[in-house]
Structure 1
């Protein structure tokens, strides 16, 4: 069944909550940044109720939820979206509280912040909270969004650890189950800026039936019907297709040894480009700017 809801995954920007201490973040609050206003505006445009949407921001992944929550409220208010609340859920018990479940049943948009995606999977996995989100995403015009860790956790399988420089060493990249809003993809974030191409190569070589999605900063994908992906934001998205791998040593070499991969296919998406997950087809849309506004020169067929 094709979901009636929409999914927005975003590569993030500077997320100090996953790299610096709480005190360091407090002393540099102006560095807390998530994505440019264009992506946020597009999310609201795609929401069924537009500027009247009830938005719940889930800051579970972050080490600095107070700062993160305040920044989201400020960013949404600049777009005249004022029904915004923060769910700072710190445990599985809190995720099951009746008040929390009532709030996500009433929300039009639920947004997962950045931080540590393992916190998201371990706190929400198997809960009524996650069941409600999945059911609403399947049956209602409901929008789920995630940036950074929130995007990485959106798929059924997710990367939760792996050194970028050593990613093509067997055993370095580690994966686990994600929140499961979309199947058959593996998502990595801060992709271009942090040099994470090797992580995604390894993940796809381990699971060649899945499409690797590497989201750069201020890059996002709007996913409709569960399979139709449109690039949004100013950044780049890299797609890694492992279906045509001829050979790999990943299953033969010992842990700690480098791996070889023959015939990975790579695509690059920028704003307005579209990819069909069912057909595995990329359509590149050229655009022109007229008085500062961007207009599509051509559109692809669904």
Structure 2
């Protein structure tokens, strides 16, 4: 099967550049003010050379991997922190026993994470007369526990003494020129071009990078600041995070000195002062300066980029404990509305943009879940369970780690027209988006595929649409409209019928006018001429990209219906995707990097979901 993607004409890439100041009250609004990406960007960097066309482009000073050291002090920190619960004592003891065994092999020699985990999983030791497998010990830890252990072992990567650098910490470098995936390059360059439109042609665009979605908010700072600098921007890190807001909301004027404590409590991140001393010092000074200085930094910028990770962390970074917008978020809102800043996000940085109010109703923010659990158990307006919490029984509120959760009050609220979801087709998230929209009585949902971007432009004037959107990048955007859907039953017995879906790919556009979504296919796409009518079925429709592949065949052929099932242990859902009189499909092809890529966009493809017999 030909790879599915999308195609954008050169017209969409070439953005007009204005010379007006960002502070000019009569400033023309940018054509597009937001670029919302679905994650999965494949960027060449010194720590991800598999994405490079030439892996030898980085100097010896570049950070190639993280380092870990099994010193007695580090093992003692793992053992004595009070981190482990009483019912996880066995896991704690076995983990320490394996690490102590490895310390005997490595002494104090630092090793890469890859080498450490290889040795760990390959270890076989005797504990109290019982043989213990390192592989089983590793697999038995939750993500929270494993991150804690690795954080306690991590040490900084230093450049050689003869490198003649004022800061001896080694940094991760990006290289767009050697990035193999041209779609990734296009997306980053597009955002810089959007920021340049705001800045005018007299200077470089000023871009702020926010890494608040990360469990470790320091880990990606070097990567993104270097990447956007290479792309032609004047770039700075905005060190706002959940830890920063927690410090200020604690009421203790000295709380900024305790950022390590807040990082542990809010992010589950430890020992960052040791690994990133310069960035921790920068973050501490930023914290002490407070929101006035942060707002001033935002005011001077032309673009702001939000990274991926956990959207709930970014929400905590920019909204206060009572749900109100922080001074920093208010500044972004004002500038975005005035056309004085452009905003981009990837993965969690996109999902967090949902919120605000559309057509008199709050727009929720999705925070967790898979399609199977969503259809079986419904959506819960509760904090997302921790990744891996099933392993250590740390899930709260009676949830399992794959349950569908959301914030009913929304995310940042910069995109109010529907729920945003990411890593979409690749992780089979169609079912969870549809179920969330049903349970929250929301109308629209937008699922952005990996390495793909949704451009968003705000309406100007009485005759303009409320919002216009366009698709660029590698794949597409799945759009759900619940306006004509009907349902019966509830819980795992829910029947949903007449759900309207669209799949728009590269170069396609859409807009919302008078609460109605209208779409336009790219003018180089034509009606499919494949007259075959295959029988289209999938036994595991929400696994990997099975739904996307199935609907692509339905789009490309004269088949009228595709059927799928999502069933585990005899329980689950049957899914029917079908065409009616209003359905339209258009196909096109494009050669990218020596590969012929097939695209098929569709409008008004209907979906029914019902419990499987």
Q: TM bucket by the smaller chain? A: 0.7 to 0.9
Deviations 1:193-245 (A, max 9, x none): 11111110111212444311001101111101151001011122111111110
Contact 1:117 1:150 in 2 (8 A): yes
- Say yes or no: does 1:197 pair with 2:430: yes
Normalization by structure 1: what TM-score? Answer: 0.82
Asked if structure 2 preserves the Cα contact closer than 8 Å seen for 1:213 and 1:237, the reply is: yes
**Is 2:210–2:238's contact at 8 Å kept on the other side of the alignment?**
yes
Given candidates 470, 481, 489, the residue that maps to 1:230 is 470
Does 2:360 correspond to 1:129?
Answer: no
Match of 2:416 among 162, 171, 183: 183
1:253 aligns with 2:280: no
**Are positions 1:89 and 2:89 aligned together?**
no
Q: CA deviation at 1:106?
A: 0.7
Task: Give how far 1:183 is off.
Answer: 1.3
The question of 1:49 aligning with 2:289 is answered no
Alignment of 1:1-302 (within 5 A): 4=29, 6-13=33-40, 21=147, 23=150, 36-47=184-195, 48-49=198-199, 52-81=204-233, 83-90=234-241, 91-92=244-245, 93=248, 94=287, 96-125=290-319, 126-156=325-355, 157-169=364-376, 170-171=378-379, 172-176=403-407, 177-225=410-458, 227-245=467-485, 247-249=486-488, 252-254=489-491, 257-278=492-513, 279-287=516-524
8 A contact 1:210–1:242 mirrored in 2: yes
Measure, in 2, the Cα distance between the counterparts of 1:80 and 1:140. Answer: 21
Task: Tell me the distance in 2 between the aligned counterparts of 1:148 and 1:64.
Answer: 16
Shift of 1:105: 0.9
Distance change (3 Å), C-alpha of 1:289 and 1:159: closer
Greater RCO (Cα-Cα under 8 Å, separation 6 or more): 1
Q: Is the 2:469–2:509 Cα contact (8 Å) retained in structure 1? A: yes
Kept after mapping to 1: 8 A contact 2:470/2:508: yes
Deviation at 1:188, TM superposition (A): 0.5
Q: Is the 8 A contact 1:155 1:179 kept in 2?
A: yes
Unaligned runs of 5+ in 1: 293-302
Q: Secondary structure at the match of 1:65?
A: coil
How far apart are 1:96 and its partner, in Å?
4.7
Structure 1 or 2: more helix by fraction: 2
Q: Residue 39 of structure 1: CA displacement?
A: 0.7
CA distance in 2, matches of 1:276, 1:129: 29
Distance, in Å, in 2 between the alignment partners of 1:235 and 1:74 is 26
In the aligned structure 2, how far is the partner of 1:89 from the partner of 1:236? Answer: 31
Q: How many pairs were matched up?
A: 279
RMSD: 3.2
State the distance in 1 between where 2:473 and 2:330 align: 30
- Cα deviations across residues 48-103 of structure 1 (Å, max 9, x unaligned)? 2277110001101112333312111222233222x111122233234953221111
Deviation at 1:290, TM superposition (A): 9.6
For 1:21 and 1:286, locate their aligned partners in 2 and report how far apart those are by CA, in whole Å: 49
